[in-house]
Amino acid sequence: MKRTLITVNAFFKHIILLARPHIFLGFLAKPFLFFSNVISLSRWISQQPKTGIFNDFFSLKRDYIRRYTLYQYVVDTQHLQDEAIDYLELGVCGGQSFEWWLASNRNPASAFYGFDTFEGLPENWGVFFNKGDMSAAVPQLTDTRAEFIKGLFQQTLPPFLQTHALDNGKRKILHLDADLFSSTLFSLAMLFPYLKKGDILFFDEFNVPNHEFFALKTFTDSFYIQTELIGAVNNYYQVALIVKG
Ligand SMILES: C[S@@+](CC[C@H](N)C(=O)[O-])C[C@H]1O[C@@H](n2cnc3c(N)ncnc32)[C@H](O)[C@@H]1O
């Protein structure tokens, strides 16, 4: 019986591929992906704790400044202020969030790495932002713990990981703020070997269904890594997750 079903399934699959459905149904690909991700995001949200952690869901108004309250909450509850950490920010732009994190930590053994093209987004992001938007000058900082790595993550992360010993026992704080699915997934996959229990992931535009959320979902589904929400603001626009293992 099973063998017959497999044969029938294969037959229909071959017929569908022969019919080249992209020609007459191609316009459905993007909306179907979007609705699929909206449903996954909604399910994910329904599974998150609403009490016992810092979470403002549901709030009517988005206040971008509230993300700093989330950062401070995590610094306080995870006792990060004096700990030696490796902070990696993927998507720096003008350096606002990067500078916040640099100022929040006092340990001289901490390292702060900021990755960006500094020439803007490498591809369009949704309908409002185009390739090249968000370009900014590389921040000039006096704190010697800070290092900026200019270029596409896809080109800079592999050599960076060969020259920087990230398997050093320090807690990793990854700040994923590249907005795009491709950039976020690539970064998570590259940094996966260095992630340990207790490391923290921040996302800055998490509740955008086809981008940062989809990247985390694809990453956790594919790498069998477990994370737990420890804080969220602006209806999950900004989230902090801790690696459980
Ligand atoms: C929203 S901005 C970062 C904002 C910053 N973290 C803040 O809050 O102050 C997103 C940045 O990601 C960068 N970016 C996106 N994908 C990238 C990639 N694949 N390689 C390098 N930079 C990328 C863009 O150049 C852009 O400056």
In angstroms and rounded to an integer, the radius of gyration of the C-alpha atoms of the chain is 20
pLDDT of 8 strictly over 90:
yes
Does 180 sit in the ligand 1 pocket, CB within 6 Å? yes
pLDDT of 241 strictly over 90:
yes
Do residues 172 and 195 touch, judged by C-beta distance below 8 A? yes
pLDDT of 3 strictly over 90:
yes
Q: Which fold has domain 52-243?
A: Rossmann fold (3.40.50)
* C-beta atoms surrounding 111 within 10 Å: 18
Instruction: State the pLDDT at residue 146.
Output: 98
| Average pLDDT over every residue of 82-111 | 98
pLDDT of 50 strictly over 90:
no
| Average pLDDT over every residue of 65-93 | 98
Does 134 sit in the ligand 1 pocket, CB within 6 Å? yes
Give CA–CA dist 93/209, Å, rounded.
22
Give the residue, by CA position, lying nearest to ligand 1 atom 6: 92
DSSP summary character for residue 55: E
- pLDDT tens digits, residue range 112-167? 999 999 999 999 999 999 999 999 999 999 999 999 999 999 999 999 999 999 99
Instruction: State the pLDDT at residue 245.
Output: 87
Start-end of H helices in 117-211? 153-163, 181-191
Q: Average pLDDT over the chain, rounded to whole?
A: 97
Sheet holding 200-203, edge to edge: 54-55, 227-233, 238-243, 200-203, 171-176, 85-90, 111-116, 146-150
